Chain A
Amino acid sequence: MNARFWVLTAAYFASLVAIAIPLGHFMTRVFAGENRASRRALGWLERGVYRVARVEATEEQTWTAYAGSILLFSLGTQLVTYAILRLQRALPFNPTHLGAVPPWLAFNTATSFTTNTDWQSYGGEATMSYASQAVALTSQNFFSAGVGVCVAIALIRGVARSESPTIGNFWVDLVRVHLYVLLPISALYALFLVSQGVIQTWQGPLAWTALDGAHSSILRGPVASQEAIKMLGTNGGGYFNANSAHPWENPTPLSDFVQMLSIWSIPAALCVTLGEMLHSRGHGRAVFGAMALLGVLGVVAIAYFESRGTPVLARAGADLLASGQQPGGNMEGKELRFGIADSALFAAITTGASCGAVTSMHDSFTPLGGLVPMFDIQLGEVVFGGAGAGMYGMLVYVVLAVFLAGLMVGRTPEYLGKKIDSRDVRFAALYVLIPAFSILIFSALGVATAAGRAGILNAAPDGGPSPHGLSEVLYAYSSGTGNNGSAFAGLTAYSPEHPIFWSLTLAIAMFVGRFPLIIAALAIAGNMAKKRRVPLGPGSFPVEGGLFVGLLVGTVVIVGALTFFPALAMGPIVEHVILQR
């Protein structure tokens, strides 16, 4: 918790605001079709896509049609991804002659990238050919992020509209988010990464001879093009197994800073879009404030616990104080070039958003330092959250918070003039219920079955089960369900001996944490759109200002804490108590 940490954190949030405002403003115009300048340049392409895909751009969809289109699109892209992974041996751009990805692993990976999770049960560069990475996985990085943003926009539209049967056209939203937002920014971003030293090549491995004469080679490939959307789209699936800790994925302090910035840029910008589309900038600011407050709490907590180190090291005589010569604290699993400050910030950002890219091993954090990223995910990925997913998730929490507290002002709860009825509450409740069920039930299954326990690395000193082993399982299903993708990597989620259990259950968790929630969010959008908007007055529930920020943060934390505290008590919390003894 040195000065560098505070300066870095302050600089980060300042830069985030500076990016969010213009980007959010731009997105408002893009989804309203009012981005005049960029349409002059690329409008022909947009219209061309509609012609080829036979999309009637002026035709709007009901929420069920919108959801149906998303499911159709995602199923299609998932099948293509699976096929490419299975056939990569026969496909071009496979300089290291990698064999087909095994069926369960391919299934898990295809699900993982379709759901914007990017959980990787494989070592990136050692399993995937250039074609698999650059075509299948990178495309999915774009598509899954795009789908998330579309759902967020559709939900905001639902709230903004009055007595409308429709919530927009998915295909139009999808084309626009790609053409005007994701693709142009990723192209520039990739060039920036190359300027920092990220590699981008179609050539095979780099052979080299060591000083002792030993021959070796380093795997490489088209990294920059995948890296840009990996961060911007909150995907997080690294080209290399070491993810953003690899010098070719993340070479400089500047590239590290920009990568962190890009993770939260779209989610933060959507707060601005929210305020503009609902004609309530104050509300947009409040949602941003709630996300930022949770974010800061996470960053500070991780940095605090990591810089304190562990009593085990202290007892072993290690000097845990930071100084000019050493970073101090708990440096296990961290890059020396990033240290505790940058690692803590990155960890909070990547887990707050459902990104999952990492620069340090979360498994090696202190018990409480590791609890924070896990809890960030369990909050429902609303600390800025995934591209789009964070916004629609947070809006569901807004509905819940407004419903609960709204009764307390003596009126039927209203969200910006939309009365919240039992249908909204039902779908909002499902939205919270489904991930809780997935995480808790799968974790119980993971430790109760032999197949599950086979993947757990960490044991107690006597060889028996350890709280840390439970934490690994809990983290895995939290990460899968939350569509995050990072891991307590002690868990072996795929091995040729046990190919099915983890691949299958995690794939189900990822699926359950994605599409049912999208359907619930869109159902709320459709229900809200239908309703008449009541004019606001002094009796209306205030959805801006500090009080609302506190209420929203309180709702998110209380719901998350009440759901997961018992399980966490048996994992990281008791592990912490034991370490302190």
Chain B
Amino acid sequence: MSKHVVRKQHALWDPSIVRSALLESVKKLDPRAMAKNPVMFVVEVGSLLVTLLFLRDVVRGARVEVKFAVQVIAWLWFTVVFANFAEAMAEGRGKAQADTLRKMRTTTSARRLRRAFDEAPLASGPLEGRGEEVAATELKKGDVVWVAAGELIPADGEIVEGIASVDESAITGESAPVVREAGGDRSAVTGGTRVLSDWLKVEIRQDPGAGFIDRMIALVEGSSRQKTPNEIALTILLSALTLIFLVAVATLEPLAQFFGGSLGVMALVALLVCLIPTTIGGLLSAIGIAGMDRLVQHNVLATSGRAVEAAGDIDVLMLDKTGTITFGNRQAFEFLPVSGVEQSELARVATLASLADETPEGKSIVTLASQRGIAPPLPDGARFVPFTARTRMSGVDYVVGGETRMLRKGASDMAVSFAKAKNGPVPGDLQGIVSKVAGEGGTPLVVADGARLLGVVYLKDTVKPGMRERFERMRAMGIKTVMITGDNPLTAKKIAEEAGVDDFLAEATPEAKLAYIQQMQQGGRLVAMTGDGTNDAPALARADVGVAMNTGTQAAKEAGNMVDLDSDPTKLIEVVEIGKQLLMTRGALTTFSIANDVAKYFAILPAMFTGLIAFQARQSDPRSSAFWALNVMRLGSPQSAILSAVIFNALVIVALIPLALRGVTYRPLGAGALLRRNLLVYGLGGVVAPFVAIKVIDLAVNLLHLA
């Protein structure tokens, strides 16, 4: 049902994005901006300190190893720039998304019919050319504007009068126009979409800059991004680790002086920068922005990063049956005649009553009959009787042999009273068949040939293929799926079993949904749901993750914390997966970052301690130091060891940018299996990888005589 139109994907290393990100990464060196990220702030301060000390030594003409010092200093600065680059890349990709959106918002003008808080009555009917011409950006909440065919809707709002077809492809990617009308659940319109036919009077519901597109632009660009709870907790942990390493490194100098030597500021800063979790510290905000970006690529807008994170924590998923779990349109499944009637006769009459019926139900009856070799032609002069809410029946009238035949199919009570009105008897077994079909979750259509009641067409709600597997994946992830339906409990139970959901809520009213959510939350569970109607708003607001359909009302959109532009309820599942992926990426890179430290210790510590004369067997030969025995990687020289570690530390940030932006691969597994896999890859891998990488870098450094 949903065309899954994904917005234009930007290549990971899109040259235009890379270019502006490079510029941005230098601009971000401003310490006021850096202070938000404690880990990288420490790196910047350290780099600055080393640079200044180096310049002082050069000016004073002190003996410095310029080649080595310049390289180390350069790589320390690269570490900061690379981290900024990661963030700028994520923001750049978001901006590229946002620019597309922004284009449609610019230079729209509007005809304002009435200002906000103006009590003057509004003339009804078309008001072509009336009102004042104002820029869209000047519209306030409460203003009423006139939008004619061919014009852009200037801002988000609610239709107060009129009906029109609207092209929303700009935000949904869906090319087919949708009908919007005043009142009911289709009265919301989005700024930037175009009216194709007719006209609308729209009451603006958002002040300038607060509309959906504006919020989305702000979020994907990262400008209004606030740290999520998990991000705050992680930042605290990373700051604590940074402090521990700061003290562990700073106290080394007095220990060295105890042995009559000094380690030097440069080596200490290099060690500190390598030890503090720069990898995750540098990529943390990029991961968050990229998560938001991935959501936008799925055409889902979130109002906050917190909502994306909450999606990963969801325990209960409430899904509407119709359209999400089942196709919604019921398919003919079986012809069930009453006793004394041939099945072929029932099929023939049902087909005749459906031949002119364009509804999916009608078509499916014709199809089922023709599969059984019954395909009667429509008699000449037949008149189609369409379905109405009053009659709840459809069928066909035609004249044969001077006698008018009236064939009908419809709701059992209506069909029975139709036959009764013609003094027809009610077959004794009809009610039993009707109940049986309803009990099995089907919809019984009773077929009447004038006064004769022939039997029942069994319409079955068909579960979409692949849903059972999807719910099994959910279960493996520990998520309980709940089907919401207006059906009676018996029908609901049947379909729930067929689809493989864990629970169902039958005869669901908005109040019942709200109560169910509250009950789940009482038990400590986090609930996600989708909704579109105004009466869904309380439940959407109450749910931890409420995804409103873009086709829904303004009230529903404001109540939820996400909007699905494709209005595809199944997408909730993907939203959950994106939330989980976001958290996993953070955890994986943190683990990797910390695990890296083991190798860095073995690279730098022996190297920096070799300068202590007290431990040198031969005067001024660092390699004769007892500490050089700890050089388990057999790196070329103390200088190349330090340089290699610093280079690795900077490059690993760049190397992991793709992972940060794409997120680690998510697999729907139980927590135990996921943990085992990620611990192996990012924990153990994080210990081993830098040993190899630093060794390789050191070989290159020595080959090129860089140190």
Contact = CB atoms under 8 A, between A and B. Distances in A.
A282 interface: no
A496 interface: no
Interface stretch (B121-129, B253-261, B371-379, B646-654): B253-261
Interface in B505-561: 523-525
B592 to A, nearest CB: 10
Contacts of A6: none
Contacts of B581: 410
B252 A539 contact: no
Given A405-B679, A541-B671, A566 B248 contact: yes
B586 interface: yes
Contacts of A453: 258
B236 interface: yes
Given A432-B240, A535-B525, A412 B313 contact: yes
B591 A408 contact: yes
Contacts of A542: 671-672, 675
B267 to A, nearest CB: 12
A464 B258 CA distance: 9
Interface residues of B, number: 75
Given A566-B601, A570-B252, A580-B629, 7 more contacts: A410-B580, A410-B581, A437-B244, A444-B251, A465-B614, A539-B670, A566-B252
A56 interface: no
Interface string A532-562: 1111011111100101000100100010011
Given A444-B251, A538-B476, A411 B580 contact: yes
Interface stretch (A179-187, A295-303, A323-331, A416-424): A416-424
Interface in A375-434: 400, 403-413, 417, 419-422, 424-426, 429-430, 432-433
Contact of B233 (A403, A533, A561, A580): A403
Task: Name the residue in B245, B597, B671 with the highest tally of chain A Cβ atoms < 10 Å from its Cβ.
Answer: B671
Given A421-B229, A470-B255, A574-B615, A410 B245 contact: no
B671 A569 contact: no
Interface in B223-246: 229-230, 232-234, 236-237, 239-240, 243-245
Nearest to A533: B524
Nearest to A564: B248
Contact of B523 (A443, A535, A563, A567): A535
A420 B233 CA distance: 9
Q: How large is the interface on A (under 10, 10 to 19, 20 to 34, 35 or more residues)?
A: 35 or more
B395 interface: no
A470 B612 CA distance: 15
B259 A570 contact: yes
A504 interface: no
A436 interface: yes
B441 interface: no
B433 to A, nearest CB: 42
A465 B255 CA distance: 10
Given A429-B236, A447-B258, A405 B670 contact: no
Nearest to A460: B614
Contact of A534 (B524, B584, B587): B524
B674 interface: yes
A573 interface: yes
Interface in A500-535: 532-535
A578 interface: yes
Nearest to A550: B679
B675 to A, nearest CB: 5
Interface string B677-703: 011001100000000000000000000
Contacts of A421: 229, 233
A409 B258 contact: no
Given A408-B587, A410-B674, A417 B524 contact: yes
B230 A407 contact: yes
Interface of B: 229-230, 232-234, 236-237, 239-240, 243-245, 247-249, 251-252, 254-260, 271, 275, 309, 312-313, 315, 475-480, 523-525, 579-581, 583-584, 586-588, 590-591, 594-595, 597-598, 601, 605-606, 609, 614-615, 617, 626-627, 629-630, 666, 670-672, 674-676, 678-679, 682-683
23 contacts: A408-B678, A409-B675, A411-B583, A412-B309, A412-B583, A419-B313, A420-B233, A422-B233, A425-B234, A447-B258, A448-B258, A453-B258, A538-B476, A545-B672, A551-B679, A562-B245, A562-B597, A569-B605, A569-B627, A570-B252, A570-B255, A574-B630, A581-B626
A538 B478 contact: yes
B662 to A, nearest CB: 15
Contacts of B244: 432-433, 436-437, 562-563
B638 to A, nearest CB: 14
A574 B594 contact: no
B629 A577 contact: yes
B620 to A, nearest CB: 18
Main secondary structure of the interface of B (DSSP, over half): helix
B240 A429 contact: yes
Contacts of A564: 248
B265 to A, nearest CB: 16
A539 B478 contact: yes
Interface of A: 162, 400, 403-413, 417, 419-422, 424-426, 429-430, 432-433, 436-437, 440-441, 443-445, 447-448, 453, 460, 464-465, 470, 532-535, 537-542, 545, 547, 551, 554, 558, 561-567, 569-570, 573-574, 577-578, 580-581
User: When A and B form their complex, which 4 residue pairs have the shortest distance between CB atoms, in order from nearest?
Assistant: A539-B478, A407-B587, A410-B580, A429-B240
A563 B252 CA distance: 12
A567 B251 contact: yes
Contacts of B312: 410-412
A439 to B, nearest CB: 9
B407 to A, nearest CB: 54
Contacts of A580: 629
Nearest to B230: A412
Contact of A429 (B237, B245, B248, B675): B237
Contacts of A424: 233
Nearest to A424: B233
A554 B679 CA distance: 11
A458 to B, nearest CB: 12
Contacts of B683: 554
Task: Name the residue in B247, B315, B477, B480 with the highest tally of chain A Cβ atoms < 10 Å from its Cβ.
Answer: B247
Contacts of B615: 574, 578
A409 B674 contact: yes
A405 B675 contact: yes
B204 to A, nearest CB: 38
Contact of B255 (A433, A443, A541): A443
A250 B259 CA distance: 40
A485 to B, nearest CB: 23
A564 B683 CA distance: 20
A440 B251 contact: yes
Contacts of A422: 229, 232-233, 236
A490 to B, nearest CB: 15
A403 B229 CA distance: 13
Contacts of B594: 404, 558, 562
Contacts of B229: 412, 421-422
Contacts of B260: 464-465
A33 to B, nearest CB: 27
A465 B258 contact: yes
A404 B587 contact: yes
A412 B479 CA distance: 14
Task: Name the residue in B233, B255, B478, B605 with the highest tally of chain A Cβ atoms < 10 Å from its Cβ.
Answer: B255
Contact of B243 (A425, A433, A577): A433
A470 B258 contact: yes
Task: Name the residue in A410, A440, A541 with the highest tally of chain B Cβ atoms < 10 Å from its Cβ.
Answer: A410
A405 to B, nearest CB: 6
A436 B247 contact: yes
Nearest to A474: B255
A523 B251 CA distance: 30
Contacts of A412: 229-230, 309, 312-313, 583
